[in-house]
Amino acid sequence: MIHFADTVTKIGAEAEAQVLVCGSHGGLYPGYLAAKAGVKAVILNDAGVGRDAAGIGSLAYLADRGIAAATVGHVSCRIGDAADMAARGRITHVNAIAAALGVTVGEACTSAAEKLDAGPVASRADPGTVSEARSLHSGGARRIVLIDSASLVKPEDKGQIVVTGSHGGLLGGNDFLALQVDAFAGVFHDAGIGIDEAGTTRLPALDRRGIAGLTVDGASARIGDARSVLEDGVISRVNATARAHGAVPGERLIDRLTVWAAG
């Protein structure tokens, strides 16, 4: 069976022993969550691959656990949108297990999922331990909070600067899911921007809530790694609220946020 999900952070027991077609980026932590859920195989989004090939970092990790995995291209379908993956997605990278099942670069996502579904169900793998960080970079008038996934945001982050390792694609057209707290600012990885500019669609949603929204260039920082986003990231897109507060594309993110943190 094939299970579709826009984000791996929301899957549960229903995905066990299924082929998971998921809109999340193909970095290490989504791979870990897929393995933890006991999936049979998984297809994720390559997020433009990006710095240190972080956008496909799950493939080798999953291969080590006997799980077939592949990614679709960020220019073939919208990140964060499993239905669009099924409709338009094309495979860009595969691990050795998926390749052995006949999945090839360039084929349609649905065809690849069917091949994975026809394969054997492996014994449930031990996912090991992959920690996802939540830390405080600085105090100041506004705190800079680092979270490797937007799912780790907390109510106490209201009014603060939240730097995430997550992609900047809006899930399910729901403005609240852009960032589940009314922060001063929310920062995301642009996942290579991709088709329909999907990697930046959280930004207008944040604008509608009066939250400064920014993305960093996918080649400048590792997706799934908030500290890399902060320390290495170069701003690629800003929303109107962020621009009103002085942010412009091309700035080093840490320089802009240092100003904002000071109040």
Residue pLDDT, tens place only, 122-155: 767 677 777 768 888 987 889 999 999 999 999 9
Q: How far apart are CA 109 and CA 92, in angstroms?
A: 10
More confident residue, 12 or 206: 206
**Cβ contact 25:191 at 8 Å:** yes
What pLDDT sits at residue 191? 98
What pLDDT sits at residue 55? 98
Q: What is the 3-state secondary structure of 16-30?
A: CCCEEEEEEECCHHH
Q: How far apart are CA 157 and CA 150, in angstroms?
A: 11
Cα 40 to the chain's mean position, in Å? 21
Parallel, antiparallel or unpaired: strands 68-72 and 41-45: parallel
Q: Give the model confidence (pLDDT) of 238-254 as tens digits.
A: 999 999 999 999 999 99
Picking from 33-42, 85-94, 132-141, 218-227, which range would have the lowest pLDDT averaged per residue?
132-141
What pLDDT sits at residue 178? 97
Residue ranges of the domains in the chain? 2-118, 134-261
pLDDT at residue 27 tops 90: yes
Mean pLDDT of the residues in the chain: 95
Parallel, antiparallel or unpaired: strands 41-45 and 161-167: unpaired
Q: Give the model confidence (pLDDT) of 34-68 as tens digits.
A: 999 999 999 999 999 999 999 999 999 999 999 99
- Enter the pTM of the model: 0.95
